Structure 1
Amino acid sequence: MEFHGVIFISLFSLVLVVESNEFPINDLINKLPGQPDANFRQFTGYIDVDENVDGRSLFYYFVEAEKDPMIQPLTVWLTGGPGCSSVGDGFSSVGPFVVTKDAHGLQKNLFSWNKVSNLLFIDSPIGSGWSYSNTSSDYNNGDDATNIILLTFMQKWYEKYPVFKSKALYLAGSSYAGHFIPNLADALLDDNKQSKQSKFNLKGLVLGNPMLRSKLDDLAKFDLFFSQKMINSSLYNQIKKECNVIDEDNYFFNLKAIWSATCENLMERGILAAFKTDANNYFPLKLFDIFRDPCAENEQDLNVNKQAVKLITEVDMCSPFRAQSYFNLPEVQRAFHGNRTKLSYIWKGCFTDNFKYNKADMELDMLPVLKKLLQQSVPIIIFSGDQDAIIPTVGTLQHLKKLAEELNIKLTKEEAWSFRNQEGGLKYDFGDLLTFLTVKGGNHHVTSSRPSQALDIFTNFVINWMH
């Protein structure tokens, strides 16, 4: 029996070596500048998504799981904006490293999702991060065009990494990825039906603070302000009365509803009152975290070797800012195989100057796509920071209750969920496939403001449950 066991282990090891050798060696990163030693490999490069090799290309960053990468699933990470770099976001959220305080090096991310999964970060749409096109019209993005390009990317990426074709696949992302991820999942499932060859082994979706019904989210911020006693009942009631042009039951048919001038004025008054400021001193980034002040550092500080740090209740608000500075170092761009077109403008975490997105698409209702996925038995986990006023938890919960109602699914469980023997937030189970978790103390970016809780959610409510 021992002899047979040795043979099995040897054959298994041989399979792992053969499979790992199928990775594209030209995309392998030896080591990033200032990076600590790691026991996993990293790959970056471009996937050309049209016949013209230099015409339209998406940039990616692939990270192996820390342990047994050939056994672990693959998780795609897309960030929102729309127009933000998923690759850059990985260095202040779920990726294996975070940028050091002086923005010239890296340190290990103790809460990286590659502890339990392989990770694939994709700069999408065109114009995000290092993704580009030689056709200027490609920078006028929208949901449909973005999704078509992403589907082509996935097909071509699997050709480059064929070992992952049969492995479990999770799609994850935050903010406007509430559009990107469900649309991509829908496209992958449709491709499965039409293709006689490989199938995308989609296991589930993970969405952080997702934009699902943007106009109702605009209104929900005032529910949040009122619940936190940031605005008084008189102003709150005026806003609710004047801005009631959106019918939740018929959201799709109310997309073109326009806020009245009175409504817009009341909304502005509500925001300024909530943050006890005036129009001259208001900082829009406050909406991303209603209780913590945004990072106020600038590039000049880092250029003279200062440190950019702003710790507020255990959250470093300058982490995304440092990632942007790190990605503009020439040695970093060389190590990343990035910026192959030698762009004239600096790398930005979000919103390069030539990037545009269809505003009408940003206001679309995503419940029909989620409904379609749930009807095909695709599990969906949604988590949301309770200090986010961009997409407040109160609005997301209302959207999901509406979705459950349309599917005739009842709220089967509502309870607190615990994290390290403390309250992590509230958990709402809608049947067996849809779960919503609020994250106590989390802002619009739970993966950076509450990274340990985010990893706990990903490990226990996604990998251990869905896999």
Structure 2
Amino acid sequence: MLRLLLPLLLLISNVERSRSAVVDSLPGFPEDLPFKLETATQYVGVGELEQVQLFYYFIESERSPKDDPLLVWLNGGPGCSSLSGLLYEIGPLQFDFSSSSGTKAILKYNPYSWTKVGNIIFLDAPVGTGFSYATASMAYNISDTSSAAQTYEFLRKWLMSHPNFLANPLYITGDSYSGVVIPIIVKEIYDGIEAGHQPQMNLVGYTLGNPVTCDEKDKSFRIPYANKMALVSDELYETTKMDCNGDFQNIDPTNGACLVDLEMVSLCLEKIYLSQILEPSCNVITPNHTRLKWSRSILEESTIDVVLMPQQSSRPWCRPYNYIFSYIWANDKNVQEALHVREGTKQEWNRCNSTLSYTKDVLNAVVYHEYLSDKALRALVYSGDHDISVPYISTLDWIRSLNLTLEGPWSPWFVEGQIAGYSILYSKNSKYDLTFTMIKGDTAPEYKPKQCLAMVDRWFSYYPL
């Protein structure tokens, strides 16, 4: 009996050492915060000897904290801070770009925050992301599965210290590369519930936005997507598909016809901004050579450090320039003090840490969706139809591979009388249901905040979109 109690007693002991604090005001916001923000003063320790210290931001629902769902939000990367999700996607604060300039970052209230309908934990995971850190160098070695296990441990400890949220419907949410990790976390939670782990969580489902599922397969759909969006002609696409035997990832270097076709595809796609094909590309383009060589980099999303870019008034506006203010704001010592960031633990905050010691040990997350589709769960998967980074046709492909039952036709849904997107509902064994929706126009929710708030408000309330 004592053996069974020891893990729970240890968990309770660790929880008692965790402390959180309410943040009433933040530098850059002109008044007291109109919502309840909590951060960890002593972080939440997870993993062996609690060497991993995870940082989070918790914002209570602005409607009904007691009744509204509890969401855990993870950004992608891997290595992108959840502060990016808070400030640019679904949180109640955003930058006032018209008032911000130089080294001055001004915040304003976001009327389309998901905190209108839910309590949200914005978690900096995996370790090395945002303000999360490790006390031992080896603890920075992380993978898809170990990161998921640590997030599950974090959530258990957080709920032990916040028992008033145990009864709230629980959803694990996020976008981009978190699409690989979230179904693993959901499986961890579900298995823990069945095994009787404490505390017992009220897991209801998960949401995925523009989710990476199988990195290689998602990228292979970029060229078919480009053809659908008239970025690559029908003639070039059909020739390339035939010459390359339908494989755009594993290129045979001796297949000259395929290589020539892909060079032409490169010309069509090299200056496209992958996250939103209608917006300007900020990628640094090397001078043209006499013959363009095919490179798989055309299927990769290059990253740039916008902080180090020269400030040229003649340059075109590009969305990544908006991210400059997050670096300015989050690295302000007054901001870090207000957020209760532990002094001396991080040299510099990065929106996305590209130097993580991270192993992608789950190459295809579909196997987890197959497992979850046999459980009593709900899933919401949404994609922007102008995102070539993770094309919606790739997402639909793995959803269809689950062999779910189609519950209705592909249908439009509306916000303020205008089509916001199109959705379709699948189910299995009267227990599991999955709603896929495509947001019309852009990737979401950074680009379509009003439509995305309406989407999740209806879905969490079990209403049709």
The aligned amino acid for 1:291 is L
1:260 aligns to 2:262 (yes or no)? no
Deviation digits for residues 344-370 of structure 1 (CA, Å, limit 9, x no counterpart): 3x21110253x1322453xx2222211
User: Quick one: distance in 2 between partners of 1:273 and 1:71?
Assistant: 53
Q: Which residue of 1 aligns with 2:276?
A: 289
User: Which amino acid counterpart does residue 307 of structure 2 have in structure 1?
Assistant: E
Structure 2 residue aligned with 1:319:
322
| 126 and 112 in structure 1: CA distance in 2 versus 1, 3 angstrom threshold | same
The answer to whether the aligner puts 1:82 opposite 2:74 as a matched pair is no
Q: Which residue of 2 aligns with 1:6?
A: none
User: 1:3 — aligned with what?
Assistant: none
Other-structure match for 1:146: 147
Distance 2:261 2:83 in 1: 34
Distance 1:137 1:73, change over 3 A: same
Aligned counterparts of 2:277 and 2:407: Cα–Cα separation in 1: 29
SS class of match (2:380): strand
Question: SS of 2:409's equivalent?
Answer: strand
Counterparts of 1:328 and 1:30, CA distance in 2: 19
Q: CA RMSD in A?
A: 3.1
Residue 108 (structure 1) aligns with: 109
- Contact 1:99/1:326, CA 8 A, preserved across alignment: no
**Partner Cα distance (2:264, 2:330) in 1:** 37
8 Å Cα contact 2:144-2:361 kept in structure 1: no
**Which residues of structure 1 form unaligned runs of 5+?**
1-21, 248-256
Unaligned runs of 5+ in 2: 1-15, 284-304
Return the TM-score normalized by structure 2.
Answer: 0.81
Do structure 1's residue 274 and structure 2's residue 268 form an aligned pair?
yes
Aligned to 1:12: none
**Hey, what's the Cα distance between the residues in 1 that align with 2:188 and 2:374?**
15
Q: 1:234 offset after TM fit, Å?
A: 3.5
- 1:299 to 2:336 alignment: no
Identical-residue share of aligned pairs (%): 27
The answer to whether the 8 A contact 2:210-2:390 is kept is yes
Query: Structure 1 residue 430 and structure 2 residue 426: aligned?
Result: yes
Matched, 1:33 2:27: yes
Q: Are residues 434 and 203 of structure 1, via their aligned partners in 2, closer, same or farther at CA, if it must alter by over 3 Å?
A: same
CA contact (8 A) 2:386 2:441 kept: yes
Matches within 5 A, 1:119-268: 119-195=120-196, 197-244=198-245, 258-261=250-253, 265=259
- Pick the structure with more helix per residue: 1
Deviation at 1:462, TM superposition (A): 2.7
Q: Counterparts of 1:270 and 1:442 in 2: how far apart (Å)?
A: 26
For 2:316 and 2:134, locate their aligned partners in 1 and report how far apart those are by CA, in whole Å: 35
Deviation per residue, 1:320-356 (Å, 9 max, x gap): 3322321111111111112533423x21110253x13
Whole-angstrom distance in 1 between the partners of 2:311 and 2:263: 38
Which stretch has the larger CA shift, 149-158 or 36-45?
Answer: 36-45
Q: Is the 8 A contact 2:306 2:323 kept in 1?
A: no
Does the 8 A contact of 2:156 with 2:199 survive in 1? no
Q: Is the 8 A contact 1:89 1:349 kept in 2?
A: no
Distance 2:370 2:317 in 1: 41
CA deviation profile, 1:140-177 (whole Å, cap 9, x unmatched): 32111111111110111112212112221111100111
How far the C-alpha of 1:299 sits from its partner, in A, is: 3.3
Quickly say closer, same or farther: Cα 1:189–1:392, change in 2 above 3 A.
same
Q: How many residues align?
A: 413
Q: Quick one: which amino acid aligns to residue 144 of structure 2? A: D
Checking the alignment, whether the CA contact within 8 Å between 2:160 and 2:199 is kept in structure 1 is no
What's the CA shift for 1:287?
1.0
Aligned: 1:49 with 2:52 = no
Gap change, CA 1:392 and 1:196, over 3 Å in 2: closer
The Cα of 1:98 is off from its aligned counterpart by 0.5
Q: How does 1:91-102 map to 2 (within 5 A)?
A: 91-101=87-97, 102=100
User: Residue 321 and residue 374 in structure 1: after superposition, are their counterparts in 2 closer, same or farther (change >3 A)?
Assistant: farther
Aligned residue among 444, 449, 452 for 2:450? 452
Instruction: Establish whether residue 417 from structure 1 lines up as the match of residue 413 from structure 2.
Output: yes
